[in-house]
Amino acid sequence: MKPVAITGLGVVSPFGAGVKAYWEGLSGGVCAIRPITLIDTEGFRCRIAAEVPRPIAGSARRSRADRLALAAAREALDDAGVDRGDREDAAVIVGAVGGGMLEAEAWHWRRMRGSAEPVPRPLASSFPSAHADVIGSTLGLAGPRETVVTACSSGAASLAMATDLISDGVVPLALAGGVDALTRICFMGFNALRLLDPAPCRPFDRDRRGMSIGEGAAFVVLEDGARARARGARVYAELVGYGMTGDAFHVTSPHPEGEGMARAMRIALREAGVAAASVGYANAHGTATPQNDRIEARAMRDVFGEGGLLVSSTKSMIGHTMAAAGTLEAVATVLALVSELVPPTAQLETPDPEIPFDCVPRAAREAAVEFAISNSFGFGGQNVTLLFKRAG
């Protein structure tokens, strides 16, 4: 695979707007998982999540998710110094699941309870594909436009798909990322599956009891490496390989031996021509469900061997942000390479003896790493591994 340069980053996270706030929160080991304010949680066992704090930029006529996405996309394009002329050929690829469902749910709730309120116009934009149309139209991106839904790996898949377009010579530049606002469906669904911890999640802890959900958006600008260098762009890191696989096993449970996960990691290494021993850090999917963490660790052990690799789950601080997770975690991985600082796994008090890795408990760790992976897995056995190389 032809390496692709990462030249711009943009984030709206439970730490607020901006990459700076995001990295300060992550590197400081701050947990942003708190009582939910956006939706009614009465009667549910879990009542916490990582919400994006107010105010959120943008017109209130847009869905919350559109506003999160637009703010992160703008920051990424500005950060990369992409001007209007460059945008004409640029692709926009968005990983999304919930779309503008938060607002659609609110309307449906009211309607079912007898309200005669007419359907608000923004409801026509309540599907995931709306984000790409809004971003493309507002920011003047006129290249390929796609919305990918691979459940919780959507944000990572968007980067892989953008890499394909650049590697194939279709576009010189792409904006790719993921977004999800908190929705009732997501909150209720994971409650129904009994996958949520009533307390902030504890990935890789022996006593972990499930995940915490969150919301946010992240976008990155990916660029042909030679083009980026020619225009004097700052290159944060290179995306040198990825693997996308399917378990073909179960709609909600991962393959018990992590076969598809391991295959995604191996494909990413093979595509990049990078030895497993060269990888120093893994930003894990790390949801904190007993099953996911054990299986992911098994898959990583199969690929990388025990020990050596530093592993952390930034979901311990911002929760599982669904379609945004893969991109937020890719940004965290890139920033770990840039700053030579591995973000911690918060709330990790008693490491699970079945997890044979140093999971960087509670405090960030200084580490100069040349290669790092970011894992994202989703319902339906949708596995994505992104492999990044430090710039330089």
Partner 1 sequence: MRQRVAITGVAVVDERTPDVASWLADEAEARRLSRICQLTVAAGRRALADADLDAQGGLAVLVGTEFGDMVSTISFVDGYLSRGPGGLSALLFPHTVMNTMAATTAIAVSAKDLSLTLSALTVAGELAIARGAAAIRAGRVGACLAGGADEPAPLVMSALGEAGAAPELRAAGAGFVVLEALDGARARGARVLGEIVGAAWRAVPARPHRIGSTASSRAIAAALEEAGGHAAEVGRVYTSANGDGPREEWERALVDAALAPHRPPYQSPSVPAGRHSGLAAQSVASAASEAGDRLALVHAVARGGNQVAIVVRSASRAGATALIP
- Rounded least distance, CB 21 to partner 1, Å: 29
- Locus of tokens 């304010």: 37
Assess whether 250 carries a catalytic annotation.
no
Q: Is position 291 an interface residue for partner 1 (rule: CB under 8 A)?
A: no
Q: With respect to partner 1, which residue has the nearer C-beta, 135 or 317? A: 135
- Rounded least distance, CB 149 to partner 1, Å: 4
- Locus of tokens 């319902």: 379
Would you give the DSSP letter of residue 31?
A: -
Tokens of 67: 């506003």
Strands 237-246 and 382-390: antiparallel
Q: With respect to partner 1, which residue has the nearer C-beta, 168 or 207? A: 168
Nearest of 60, 336, 362, 348 to residue 201 by alpha carbon? 348
Assess whether 186 carries a catalytic annotation.
no
Nearest of 101, 176, 181 to residue 146 by alpha carbon? 176
Q: Is position 161 an interface residue for partner 1 (rule: CB under 8 A)?
A: yes
- Rounded least distance, CB 244 to partner 1, Å: 4
Assess whether 320 carries a catalytic annotation.
yes
Q: With respect to partner 1, which residue has the nearer C-beta, 171 or 332? A: 171
Q: For 119, list phi and psi in degrees, rounded to 5.
A: -70, 125
Of the candidates 46, 201, 255, 320, the residue annotated as catalytic is: 320
Residues 6 or more apart in contact with residue 211 via CB below 8 angstroms: 190, 195, 196, 197, 201, 287, 288, 289, 315, 319, 320
Query: Helices 259-272 and 290-304, interaxial angle, to 10°?
Result: 40
Q: Is position 142 an interface residue for partner 1 (rule: CB under 8 A)?
A: yes
Of the candidates 46, 131, 152, 186, the residue annotated as catalytic is: 152
Distance CA 298, CA 104 (A): 40
With CB under 8 A as the contact rule, the residue among 47, 145, 209, 231 that binds partner 1 is 145
By three-state DSSP, how is residue 108 classified? helix
Q: Is position 392 an interface residue for partner 1 (rule: CB under 8 A)?
A: no
Instruction: Give yes or no for a contact between 279 and 373, defined as CB atoms under 8 angstroms apart.
Output: yes
Instruction: Give yes or no for a contact between 134 and 66, defined as CB atoms under 8 angstroms apart.
Output: yes
Q: Which of residues 302-361 bind partner 1 (CB under 8 A)?
A: none
Q: Is position 36 an interface residue for partner 1 (rule: CB under 8 A)?
A: no
Q: Is position 58 an interface residue for partner 1 (rule: CB under 8 A)?
A: no
Q: With respect to partner 1, which residue has the nearer C-beta, 53 or 249? A: 249
With CB under 8 A as the contact rule, the residue among 35, 114, 118, 353 that binds partner 1 is 118
CA 50 to chain centre: 14
Which positions are catalytic? 152, 285, 320
Q: Which residues bind partner 1 (CB under 8 A)?
A: 43-44, 92, 96-97, 104-105, 107-109, 112, 118-125, 127-130, 132-134, 136-137, 141-151, 157, 161, 164, 167-168, 170, 184-185, 188-194, 244-252, 260, 263, 378-382
